[in-house]
Amino acid sequence: MITIGYRFDTEAKVVVDVKEEKKEETAVLEEEEEKTELLYGVENTIDRGIRFMQNARKNMDLFGEKNGPSIIIEFPDICKNNYIAAKNRGVKIRFITEITEDNIHYCKELMNIVTEFRHLDGLVGGIAVTESAILIASWEAA
- Note the pTM of the prediction, 2 decimals: 0.72
- Cα 128 from Cα 14, distance rounded (Å): 14
Instruction: Specify the number of domains making up the chain.
Output: 1
Burial of 6 (0-12, 13-18, 19+ CB in 10 A): buried
Can you give the length of the chain in residues? Answer: 142
CATH number of the structural domain spanning residue 48: 3.30.870
C-alpha–C-alpha distance, residues 6 and 125, integer Å: 9
Nearest to 136 by CA among 40, 52, 73: 52
Tens digits of pLDDT across the chain (142 residues): 444 444 444 344 444 444 444 444 434 445 556 656 666 677 887 888 899 999 999 999 999 999 999 999 999 988 999 999 999 999 999 999 999 999 999 999 999 999 999 999 998 888 899 998 888 776 555 4
Q: The domain containing residue 74 runs over which residues?
A: 2-139
